[in-house]
Structure 1
């Protein structure tokens, strides 16, 4: 008598499931990457089984005390979204198949087999928790307020803090003997729909803040490369602007323009215009930071070039020559115009003063 699929599945052990996940980690995947891809292809129950497997493996490997902090942040987000249960089942066949078919990703941090027995305190260096806390608070208020002018002021202040912190960090680092620019990479996952347009928004935010963005449209995963402080700030600003853009897009759609073509064009127009405005705001805040620091822009230029070179070196190391540009075909002109108008409403730049050499 033949056996049904349930009988076969019951014979699979939890160790088999865990070995699939451990292999994924060794070939470059991180917990958030696995869950993101699973979310795109699995049903809710199957997705939950992968989330619970990730948590079991984190406990087994001692990840909470050994893993890089960004890895731990991913585990926290997964634990919050998928609380553990006592009767945790094995993976569904489709979930196991997905894990088994994962192909290698660029390794952005050491895999579990290379973690130390205890995470070093050095792992937390490179960011200012107080500054990031202030930026996070400003952006949270900008997202929640219903008053456009208040959101404008809060977002502009957040961008100003980001730029000042970046400039101050560059000047302080330059004073350290034989200082090397720390450059890291992390992945940001872009949800459906319109993931490509969201990738463009992330790219424009990164370009204005000294961060390179490499986008994988197949899995809707972006890799951002920059200094630790710049990466944290770009992640925060992108998340906030995406919330604001989505809200503005739905408001525009309530007036009768709600087609997919309109929304793609809206997000495209928003991303292009917001990138222009962020660059203007960055220049203005840089000028103010330079004046306050008592240096000239000519003094700062070599430091910025050094940081840019370090970022490019890391991009080359991770991706080599296997990079190509990607473009857009946008057909809805009304959507582009509406998106640009929404970006203008954000009024990110406190003023329009140009930076002179």
Structure 2
């Protein structure tokens, strides 16, 4: 799922191009790479002309990470890195986490005994196809396959609000479509993903509301994957009774029953909102997510008020 991962972790342009070519089964044309960037990386503020120029500059950079194949296609440059780059590669491989450039240099100082100034002038990870940089400055390995999208989907499907990182990685492995190739390089780093919160080794998926998680745990049922937007949904309740035909002595009980049904429907709908949020997240509709979460507060408050109202007047 290159699109979601590239947006969530926001690769630099060069890092994104490396990742695209690493995943591609064959070399790609410059135009194909421009289309990939426009589709999966660039925001609406970028024009086709500016993106095309930046992609071309990256592909043709001297001593860059890309090499031309057949004149009109590109692939990752196949060349062995020097000792410093190899040390950096082994460091990232061992930690299994994205690292700041400064942290990589400090490690190289420790293992090589060289000065920081010398290392800063000699270590160029941009030119090495094994490294991809995030916009925030962190470096990760191009071969790493982020598991964040799969974990977010599984936690929403199963209504799991919290889980240990090791448990989630095992869950991904069990649900993987195949057990070969990139599967061994799956990495999960929730601290770079707004869908998650991290406390020690415990991950909290913010797409799963506490109420929804509790309901799923109690009933053993999974949340539905496909939901309609709030605007498209209509409240489904039992047919309302014709109050004009109800005896006066039964009127209050009938009204309270209808209000109770509406309150229950609002509560059920509120528990399905995390799935709607996930759909909007996949379409990168941040404004829609903000609106929906604000609406969730109104729906929840209305359901609670109706329930209290019904309880009050049922006890009269």
Common fold: TM-score over 0.5: no
Query: Whose strand fraction is larger, Structure 1's or Structure 2's?
Result: 2
**Of the two structures, which has the highest relative contact order with CA contacts closer than 8 Å and spacing of 6 or more?**
1
The alignment's TM-score, normalised by the length of structure 2, stands at 0.28
Query: Whose helix fraction is larger, Structure 1's or Structure 2's?
Result: 1
Query: Highest CA radius of gyration, 1 or 2?
Result: 2
The alignment's TM-score, normalised by the length of structure 1, stands at 0.26
